[in-house]
Amino acid sequence: MPVLALRGGAPVRRKPFPSIGNRSGRTFDEEEMRHLQEVMASGALSRAFGTKVKQLEEEFPRRIGARYCTASTSGTAAIHIALGAINPEPGSEVITGPITDMGTVIPILFQNCIPVFADLEPETLTFDLEDLERRITERTKVIIPVHLCGNANDMDGIMALAERYGLWVIEDCSQAYGTLYKGRHVGTIGHLGCFSLQQSKHITAGEGGLTVTNDPHLAERAALFANKGWPNYGQGGRDYVMFGTNYRMTELQAAVVLGQLTKLERVTEARHRWGTLLTESICDLPGLRPPVARPGVRHTYWFYPLQIDQKALGVSTDRFAEALRAEGIPAGAHYIGKPIFLFDLLREKRIYGTSRYPFDLLPPEEEPRYEPGVTPKAERILADLVQIPINENYTEEDVRDIATAIRKVVENREELQEG
């Protein structure tokens, strides 16, 4: 039996995994350069005078089966635009997932609403619908399902709850480009869908966001919110018809995204293929919980979320990830480390100065609790989670090497046991 590299054996992998000359592994080529050169030649870097943002807002929704799109400066802005279009009353509750980036939560607080967190299914890392329904109160106005790692939530179940309780649904698709739910792109099923163009996402402009909808009224309000409530992006007379902020995407960002869109299907199809192959290659191993996609879902693997049974293996998550890294496989442990509401920013409820606003809009006994045990399944997921990068530029050999290393670590786990 091969000796683990952590114990002096030969590593499974010595050469680096594919990357195209940059930290994220994204592919940039003449398409992005062509659009950028056209912008520079025009001299119009603002969307008010250019054509690229408008082109992007037409092309992206067409590709995913939506009608309208507002481009913006970040994924955080995309979610804020969606909430701004809905415009819930201050003190309204917005339910979202506990394993996410603060970019999902910041817009809720900026709209003076209360973030509430529902637990997740360990198999899919998506909403546990029973727990989600349990969190709904008379103050709940919006649900924001996070399609974590490229896996789709049970959108039929979520939309049924939304209809039953009269709620809005904003899909956070920051990690879920190309993810399909029963043949439909995520982001087109709820009332609004939001995508991130940050450097590490499936496609990127460094930063940027896209908010899509099929509702013309929401589309109009989204565009206004992103432009300080000023219609037509400064074309025509000055007026401010609703409250908003300035989240305008530049022509330079849009130029890069237009080039990236030509690669989107290849990127997402490849990630689906490689993530599926990895699961098939390790599903027989004891003590592992590979990701599960419910029937009718195409998972696009922003990263590969592998959970380990620490008790069954007799190995900690950190030690398991360390052993994989020694074998030449980039791997991390615990993703964000703890549910997002356990970070001090939220636990202390100090958002605006020294006040407790917007939490003091609620009676003290009805404030949400941000403490360990609120979402126990999510805490367990993070405790057991090993994240493994998936990249569209992988080959079958790359995926086989990852699987071989995982198998080697599992089969030699006694070497990792401490004490």
Fold designation for 5-25+264-336+378-416: Aspartate Aminotransferase, domain 1 (3.90.1150)
Give the tens place of pLDDT for each residue, 351-378. Answer: 999 999 999 999 999 999 999 999 999 9
**Amino acid (1-letter code) at residue 303:** F
Q: Where residue 233 falls among pLDDT bands split at 50, 70, 90?
A: confident
Give the tens place of pLDDT for each residue, 47-77. Answer: 999 999 999 999 999 999 999 999 999 999 9
Domain 5-25+264-336+378-416 shares a fold with domain 30-262 = no
Per-residue pLDDT, 21: 45
Average pLDDT over residues 229-246: 83
Work out the burial of residue 343: count CB atoms within 10 Å of its CB; fewer than 13 is exposed, 13-18 middle, 19 or more buried: middle
Q: Where residue 239 falls among pLDDT bands split at 50, 70, 90?
A: confident
Radius of gyration of the chain (CA): 22
Average pLDDT over residues 263-273: 97
Q: The tokens of 256 are what?
A: 């890069």
Work out the burial of residue 277: count CB atoms within 10 Å of its CB; fewer than 13 is exposed, 13-18 middle, 19 or more buried: middle
Residue 235 predicted with pLDDT over 90:
no
Q: Where residue 403 falls among pLDDT bands split at 50, 70, 90?
A: very high
- Give the helix ranges, DSSP H, for 227-263: 251-261
Per-residue pLDDT, 237: 72
Residue 223 predicted with pLDDT over 50:
yes
Helix (H) and strand (E) counts for the chain? Answer: 14, 14
Q: What SS3 class is residue 258?
A: helix
Average pLDDT along the chain: 95
Contact 170, 191 (CB under 8 A): yes
Enumerate the domain spans of the chain: 5-25+264-336+378-416, 30-262
Per-residue pLDDT, 236: 65
Phi-psi region of 283 (alpha: psi -120 to 50; beta: other; left: phi over 0): alpha
Give the tens place of pLDDT for each residue, 149-187. Answer: 999 999 999 999 999 999 999 999 999 999 999 999 999
Please tell me the distance from the alpha carbon of residue 289 to that of residue 330, in angstroms, as a whole number.
19
| Pick from 174, 166, 165, 167: nearest CA to 147 | 174
CATH 3.40.640.10 for domain 30-262, yes or no, is: yes
Q: The tokens of 68 are what?
A: 């309208």
Per-residue pLDDT, 240: 85
Average pLDDT over residues 100-126: 98
Per-residue pLDDT, 23: 57
Per-residue pLDDT, 27: 81
Per-residue pLDDT, 184: 98
Give the tens place of pLDDT for each residue, 276-311. Answer: 999 999 999 999 999 999 999 999 999 999 999 999
Output the pTM of the full model: 0.96
